[in-house]
């Protein structure tokens, strides 16, 4: 996928890994809106992949392809094992988390603290590459704490590409591990896109993707002038309708017109999926909680959200609730903000 993208000059658009957000239901929903985007799982710790309930942790729907599993850890042996298990489940890519500023970084087990250990990260990538034939990629920051980002990002990139990584996705801000919460670390440290553009100049034959603070497809297109891929997190989750414009963008559409999703088809697919989930013993809200932002900017959206937040957690809730919520939407109303912004 990455080598083909580099050879053909085709760009990759990805929806970021997000804990508690990009679970399999969310990814199934996003896939109804875009066929071409690369979707990422939430981060799964290598030990959990090896010792946990694999079907629960790793199971996904075939329609989610292309889908990448993100793994957290710092033990090359365990990461190799976890990567092999992930690839065996059918994931199209295995990604190593070198960007998450979670509480557990204090114990040095995974995430952004690995920015300080580029050689170890290189060893982790090498072990993962040895274990699988699908692409192995890294998602990182530009540095942590007092690191000089220019030096830290170069060191990580040299090591991971030296170990055969197929791509690097860079969240273009430092993580301040000492003092900021994970949430603050997604907003407070300033974004530095230029450093990622320079990384691409330094590694012209390698796949470099950018992430962080991209709010719209127009902004994504701007970044794609300098790098090979763009990854959206919160904007895609909160305003999923923007994903409907991605396939046209990747097919080379030059005019950025607003592409409105085929809402009725999306609701139909999701109602069918949700009903199956409910009949299998799941809760409707586990599916619909990811859909609350679908009609942002459209008349009736508030009532739609209200129905989803109140009626989907009732014990007898079934997928008809989705149709009831959809009935509140005035599709001829204001469509501003759907996907161009």
Which residues belong to the active site? 100
Of 42 and 64, the one with the shorter C-beta distance to ligand FMN is 42
Which listed range, 27-35, 76-84, 97-105, 286-294, lies at the site for ligand FMN (CB under 6 A)? 97-105
261/152 Cα distance (integer angstroms): 41
Q: Give least dist CB 21 to ligand FMN, A.
A: 5
Q: Is 139 in the site for ligand FMN (CB under 6 A)?
A: yes
Q: Is 290 in the site for ligand FMN (CB under 6 A)?
A: no
Nearest C-alpha neighbor of 197 from the set 230, 226, 177? 226
Nearest C-alpha neighbor of 266 from the set 298, 237, 241, 236? 241
Q: Give least dist CB 300 to ligand FMN, A.
A: 27
62-84 as b/e: b if 16+ CB within 10 A: eebebbbbbbbbbbbebbbbbbb
The CA distances from residue 256 to 216, 219, 242, 277, in Å, are 11, 11, 12, 36
Question: Taking CB under 6 A as the criterion, which residues in 42-81 touch ligand FMN?
Answer: 42-43, 70
Q: Which residues contact 189 (CB under 8 A, 6 or more apart)?
A: 173, 174, 175, 176, 180
What's the 3-state SS for 3-22?
A: HHHHHHCCCEEEECCCCCCC
Question: Taking CB under 6 A as the criterion, which residues in 205-264 touch ligand FMN?
Answer: 211-214, 232-235
Binding footprint of ligand FMN, residue count (CB under 6 A): 23
Q: Give least dist CB 200 to ligand FMN, A.
A: 18
Out of 1, 5, 18, 49, name the contact with ligand FMN by CB under 6 A. 18
Q: Is 118 in the site for ligand FMN (CB under 6 A)?
A: no
Nearest C-alpha neighbor of 228 from the set 172, 149, 165, 169? 169
By beta carbon distance, the residue nearest ligand FMN is 233
Binding site for ligand FMN (CB under 6 A): 16-21, 42-43, 70, 97, 99-100, 139, 171, 186, 211-214, 232-235
């Amino acid at each position: 996928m990455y080598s083909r993208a580099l050879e053909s000059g085709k760009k990759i658009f990805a929806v970021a890994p997000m804990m508690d957000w990009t679970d399999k239901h969310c990814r199934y929903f996003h896939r109804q809106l875009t066929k071409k985007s690369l979707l990422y799982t939430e981060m799964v710790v290598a030990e959990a992949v090896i010792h946990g309930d694999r079907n629960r942790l790793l199971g996904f729907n075939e329609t989610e392809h292309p889908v990448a599993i993100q793994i957290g850890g710092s033990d090359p042996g365990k990461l190799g094992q976890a990567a092999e298990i992930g690839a065996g489940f059918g994931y199209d890519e295995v990604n190593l988390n070198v960007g998450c500023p979670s509480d557990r970084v204090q114990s040095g087990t995974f995430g952004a603290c690995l920015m300080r250990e580029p050689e170890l990260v290189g060893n982790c990538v090498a072990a993962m590459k040895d274990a699988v034939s699908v692409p192995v990629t890294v998602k990182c920051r530009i540095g942590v704490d007092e690191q000089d980002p220019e030096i830290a990002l170069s060191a990580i990139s040299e090591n991971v590409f030296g170990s055969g990584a197929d791509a690097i996705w860079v969240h273009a801000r430092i993580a301040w591990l000492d003092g900021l919460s994970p949430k603050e670390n997604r907003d407070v440290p300033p974004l530095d896109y230029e450093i990622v553009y320079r990384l691409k100049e330094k590694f012209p034959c390698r796949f470099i993707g950018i992430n962080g603070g991209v709010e719209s497809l127009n902004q994504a297109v701007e970044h794609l002038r300098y790098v090979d891929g763009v990854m959206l997190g919160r904007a895609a989750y909160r305003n999923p309708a923007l994903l409907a414009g991605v396939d046209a963008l990747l097919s080379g559409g030059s005019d950025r017109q607003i592409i409105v999703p085929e809402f009725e088809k999306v609701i139909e697919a999701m109602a069918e999926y949700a009903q199956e989930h409910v009949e299998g013993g799941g809760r409707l809200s586990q599916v619909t909680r990811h859909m609350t932002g679908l009609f942002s900017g459209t008349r009736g959206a508030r009532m739609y959200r209200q129905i989803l937040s109140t009626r989907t957690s009732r014990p007898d809730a079934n997928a008809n609730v989705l149709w009831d919520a959809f009935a509140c939407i005035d599709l001829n109303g204001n469509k501003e903000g759907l996907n161009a912004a």
